[in-house]
Structure 1
């Protein structure tokens, strides 16, 4: 189940486009198969995580991150089935849906191999560039996967419990990278394009509405909120798109 109260997009590759890159276009009815989440966290300031974006798609919400003055990174399942005209990014604010600056989407791409949980990544290009300041900055992108036990932080405005209410204030929670083999014993379907993070006892996680948001180690993004079994359950860590593994695709699709 995905980490958002969002939906899936129908995507059709344009003639001559790379088979790894699909433009965002078309639409498809909403399907409730998603979980996002910040559970067990606390309020944080946008100045601490200035790459965090509030991403609305139709009537649904996700997270995203700034990776350059004109490009943002999110999850494929957040945008799959929507047109770019239905999307809006908000930067530079700790408050859900207000403050900061808004940015329409000019174009975007999801991974050509995206299928449900795997390759769950997209990039979108904004029509009006981000103006960098203390509350608006690009995040670094991981080139190597962090080792098991590394402390990482996930942020967003998602629900604070499974099927609960979204937060009006940006929240963050610190979890640890979970060994892929351990994570696979829980889910049985963890690929190299995924990275897992949580706490063994549960109680800390992302949740509905956090999908697409960044998992960071310091100021480097290592994951994108993707899916999991409900939110913050013991022995079921959050599953994230693995930025290091997908780094070359990001560069190919966006030039970043």
Structure 2
């Protein structure tokens, strides 16, 4: 996936390396049965970003994953632990990115409507959206096919890692004013999402709480992973589903 993994230049200025592939760091391989809401957003038939299943015909991903709005180049694979075979592959019908993301790193969320409905089963399942932002210290898991180390290749097998929600003030100390209310941060020593995991799900207590957005390198001890805050963006998601 094309994650907007970033390098810190100053306390408030970041340069995005959106062309870098990325994956889960410090985690382990996991079956799709454990995370049936996980999807692979594919571009020209190759894994580009992660996504989360919202309904039979809608998935959620990061806005920065959608560089080209030509729906013909995208497809979504679900129900497989691997990006290159198995499960169901469905073409994309429509894409809607958050209007606020065009000129900032905030509002990093997009909805994708599929051309046909997914067959829901034990490997393919929607995940409910969080109603409130997670509390600091809450445990969460993030999954995807991103890199296991910064600047390394993508993983073909699905991986998952446990992280903890970070206090917003602490996250601000790491990144400065780039952190806004529609973002949450999560970290654990040696654990993180990475390139290729962008757009993928951050889950706590069985609900989608975040969408992988950006970070400085991967599992950097001073810089946590940053996620779009699903609870804060839920009103936009619900209204956008109606017009997608």
TM-score of the aligned structures, taking structure 1 as reference length? 0.85
Work out the CA distance in 2 between the residues paired with 1:112 and 1:37: 27
Is the 2:23–2:155 Cα contact (8 Å) retained in structure 1? no
Unaligned runs of 5+ in 1: 8-30
Work out the CA distance in 2 between the residues paired with 1:240 and 1:197: 8
SS in 1 for 2:240: helix
How many residue pairs get matched?
228
Work out the CA distance in 1 between the residues paired with 2:235 and 2:56: 19
Alpha-carbon displacement from aligned partner over 1:180-208 (angstroms, at most 9, x marks no partner):
10000000021001000002xx3100011
TM-score of the aligned structures, taking structure 2 as reference length? 0.89
- Tell me the CA shift for residue 111 of structure 1: 0.6
Which residue number in structure 2 is paired with residue 192 of structure 1? Answer: 181
Work out the CA distance in 2 between the residues paired with 1:228 and 1:66: 23
RMSD: 1.7
Work out the CA distance in 2 between the residues paired with 1:5 and 1:75: 10
Which residue number in structure 2 is paired with residue 11 of structure 1? Answer: none
1:205 aligns with 2:192: yes
Which residue number in structure 2 is paired with residue 222 of structure 1? Answer: 209
1:83 aligns with 2:80: no
1:42 aligns with 2:39: no
- Tell me the CA shift for residue 96 of structure 1: 1.9
Unaligned runs of 5+ in 2: 5-15
After the TM superposition, list the runs of 4 or more consecutive aligned residues in structure 1 that deviate by more than 6 angstroms: none
- Tell me the CA shift for residue 42 of structure 1: 0.3
Q: Which moved more, 1:51-60 or 1:179-188?
A: 51-60
